[in-house]
């Protein structure tokens, strides 16, 4: 494990995708704020016991998504977009809602019933 990022050999997803997901989650949670320097490609690769190419792929994809920026000779950093964490949280919420809607369809549940269940869930107090 390195910087709180870990790779599971039993996960069917490619290793670069696992790295990307965990970096996205850290940014979305606010653990890695805008401007935070990411571990170097070589250091992260060594820490995770993966190839430099794997980490480089993850960083390039995250950069193409606008989540990180790479400054030649200085390293990679969380992008300075002030709304980035909120946008990532909205994306994650949308993914969960789409999954819930899929399950509801499989169960033959009406959109109204699903909406009622969502309202009930939203009223439940947060666990402490």
Q: What is residue 1's predicted lDDT score, i.e. its pLDDT?
A: 41
**pTM of the shown model:** 0.66
pLDDT at 124: 81
**How far apart (Å, rounded) are the C-alpha atoms in residues 74 and 118?**
46
Q: Specify the pLDDT at position 39.
A: 94
Q: How far apart are CA 15 and CA 54, in angstroms?
A: 7
10-residue averages of pLDDT along the chain (128 residues): 80 96 89 92 95 97 91 91 64 82 92 89 78
Residue 83 pLDDT = 59
């Amino acid at each position: 494990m390195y910087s709180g990022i870990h790779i599971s050999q039993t996960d069917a997803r490619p290793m670069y995708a696992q790295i990307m997901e965990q970096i996205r989650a850290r940014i979305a949670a606010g653990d890695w704020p805008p401007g935070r320097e990411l571990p170097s490609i070589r250091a992260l690769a060594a820490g995770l016991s993966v190839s430099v190419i794997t980490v480089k792929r993850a960083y390039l994809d995250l950069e193409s998504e606008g989540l990180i920026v790479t400054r030649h000779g200085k390293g990679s950093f969380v992008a300075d977009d002030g709304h980035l964490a909120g946008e990532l949280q909205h994306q994650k919420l949308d993914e969960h809602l789409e999954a819930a809607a899929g399950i509801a369809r499989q169960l033959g549940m009406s959109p109204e019933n699903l909406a009622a269940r969502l309202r009930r869930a939203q009223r439940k107090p947060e666990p402490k």
